[in-house]
Structure 1
Amino acid sequence: MIRLILALVLLATQSLAAPEAWRLDVARSTVGFTYEFIEGDNSGTMPVAAADIRLDLRDITASEVAVTLDASGARAGFFLATQAMRGPRVLDTARHPSITFRSTRITGTVQAARIKGLLTVRGITRPVTLDAGLYRQRGADPAALDTLTVRLTGKIDRHAFGASGYPDLVGPIITLRIIARITR
């Protein structure tokens, strides 16, 4: 009988620790990036097409994230840069309209996590690591954990993905700053 009770408690504890599905608030989330353009920095944005977010707030390492970005809707700060970025020498959005990221391992804590995953740009998949933090949204009840903000940062080398066009105008490193508003 005691073994049965212990087994039930263990099963209940495991079910409580399972990752929960979260919904991305697309209207209040931003995928931003900066890049070196000639002799200064420029910035842009890219819309999120889909996100599958499964978080375990008790054990962040059990969490999983998969995101699809709409590369064809990306903006690079001004019209000519946007057209060049979407064109065949950089993102080639006519042939590759989406960029995807899928986590493979999450380490750290809720406030200071590292997300390793596979990023696919132009049909080329490479491992990347992003730094992440999970926070209550401004003005939220301190005890409430139903709406959160995720901040992701990282850097990628665009040449690793074949997005090498205009090397005399645009630097190789793209700095990412992503703010995602999520709801349980």
Structure 2
Amino acid sequence: MRALRYLALAGLLATAGIAVAAPATYQLDPTHTMVLFSWNHFGFSNPSADLNNVQGTLVYDEKDPSKSSVDVTLPLSGLDTFVPKLDEHLKSADFLDATKYPNITFKSTKVSAAGKGKLKVTGDLTVHGVTKPVTLDVTVNKVGDHPMLKVPAVGFDATATLKRSDFGVGAYVPNVSDEIKVRITTEGHAEKK
């Protein structure tokens, strides 16, 4: 009996030093995050806009991406096409109706590995008061200590193609394309301890 207790104690002591990697939590850095979207305008041009002032939290588990998640808010106050009149028009009731729906949100429901350094992130995108599932094709750029901030950091790029009419934003389709191409680049930082 005593031998069994010593064996159990030895087993506990042996496993006590083993650290199990846990998912890390990062705050998205709005100064290093761009959410760009573009569309076709009557076949003549392909304008684009940036949604800045992003607020969000990213949980990333490098060893098991299925334990990862993202929760992001994109205030329409940060919409920038570099053309003030176009910003006003896109924020108007004709399109995004920013007075009634001031934010776009994305909350992941599933993250899965899609090859070396690649992920598929599926989640609920809410635009104009309508929530639909969307899948982002994600590239993991880098995971490591940030050289300037001296904290753990992570960076990703992502792409998706959406139909704006799915979200009740169908003004001028098909002359102004229904298809919206989205490109995201983001950096997240762990909090300083």
TM over 0.5: yes
Aligned-partner SS, 2:100? coil
User: Residues 94-145 of structure 1, C-alpha deviation per residue, up to 9 Å, x if partnerless?
Assistant: 00000000000011156110000000011110000001111128xx78xx99
- 8 Å contact from structure 2 (residues 52, 80) kept in 1: no
User: Residues 14-33 of structure 1, C-alpha deviation per residue, up to 9 Å, x if partnerless?
Assistant: xx332111122211221111
| Structure 2 counterpart of 1:146, from 129, 137, 152 | 152
Per the TM alignment, residue 48 of structure 1 is displaced from its structure 2 partner at its CA by 3.6
Q: 1:67 to 1:151 in 2, by over 3 A?
A: same
Q: Which runs of 5+ in 2 are unaligned?
A: none
Question: What is aligned with 1:21?
Answer: 25
Matched, 1:88 2:73: no
Matched, 1:177 2:183: yes
Matched, 1:72 2:82: no
- Runs of 4+ in structure 1 deviating by more than 3 angstroms, as ranges, are 1-10
Separation (CA, whole Å) in 2 of partners of 1:34 and 1:127: 20
Percent sequence identity over aligned pairs: 27
For the aligned residues, what is the CA RMSD? Answer: 2.7
Q: Which runs of 5+ in 1 are unaligned?
A: none
Q: 1:7 to 1:64 in 2, by over 3 A?
A: farther
Task: Provide the aligned length of Structure 1 versus Structure 2.
Answer: 178
Bigger Rg over Cα = 2
Separation (CA, whole Å) in 2 of partners of 1:181 and 1:100: 18
Aligned-partner SS, 2:40? strand
Aligned-partner SS, 2:159? strand
Per the TM alignment, residue 77 of structure 1 is displaced from its structure 2 partner at its CA by 4.5
Matched, 1:156 2:156: no
What is the one-letter code of the residue matched to 2:50? T
TM-score, normalization by structure 1: 0.85
